[in-house]
């Protein structure tokens, strides 16, 4: 099997996996669910956090931004590892 064929197959696999994940999130319909209780629970948690965590209203958004950045880094790392796996054809 030539290197080009290996790369093509691996690329196809990655593309299929990516497309599946994206379609699950954006196309496949799920039964509607009521978000009200979740948001109310969040509001209640926020009220508790406001009281028990010093500077919660400042810290919570900062933490959420940091976690979002971390998630982005994780995605970038996955992309990097995937690319290296695709290009590794000499094994």
Partner 1 sequence: MRIKKCLKLNYLSVFFSRLLLLVALFCCAILSNVIKTNDVYARTTTSFGIRDWTSDAGSTWHTLGLPDNVTNIGHDTPHYFRGVRLVNYGDWGDGDYYSGHVTINVTAYHPYPAPAGVGNIVNRVGSEYSSALSSNTLCSLGAYGTQPKSYSVSNFSATYLGGSIDSTGTLYYTGWLVEWDFSGQMSSSYSGSYDAYCRIYPGSANSEWFSADTAAIYLDNRTSMTFNVSESSTGSQIDQVLEAQQNTNSILQQIDNSINNINISGGASADDIADAISDKEQSEMQSAQTGADTSANSSGSQADSQGRTLLNGFTQFVDGVQQARPATCEIDFDLSRYPGGTNTVVDLCSLSKPEYYNYIASIVVAIFVVRLSVTTVTKMLALYKEYSE
Instruction: State the nearest-atom distance from the C-beta of 2 to partner 1, in Å.
Output: 26
**Residue 87: CB atoms within 10 Å:** 13
The whole-angstrom separation of Cα 60 and Cα 18 is 31
Nearer to partner 1, 8 or 61 (CB): 61
Report, in Å, the least distance between residue 62 CB and partner 1.
Answer: 7
Q: How far is the CB of 53 from partner 1 (least distance, A)?
A: 6
CB nearer partner 1, residue 13 or residue 46:
46
Residues 6+ apart with CB under 8 A from 11: 86
Q: Rule CB under 8 A: which residues touch partner 1?
A: 24-36, 38-40, 42-48, 50-55, 59, 62-63, 66-67, 69-70, 73-74, 76-78, 80-81
Distance CA 41, CA 35 (A): 10
């Amino acid at each position: 099997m030539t290197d080009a064929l290996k790369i093509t197959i691996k690329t196809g696999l990655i593309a299929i996996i990516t497309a599946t994940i994206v379609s699950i999130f954006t196309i496949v319909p799920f039964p509607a669910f009521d978000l009200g209780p979740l948001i109310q629970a969040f509001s209640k948690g926020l009220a508790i956090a406001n009281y028990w965590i010093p500077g919660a209203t400042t810290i919570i958004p900062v933490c959420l931004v940091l976690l979002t950045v971390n998630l982005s880094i994780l995605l970038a790392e996955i992309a990097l590892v995937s690319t290296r796996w695709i290009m590794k054809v000499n094994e």
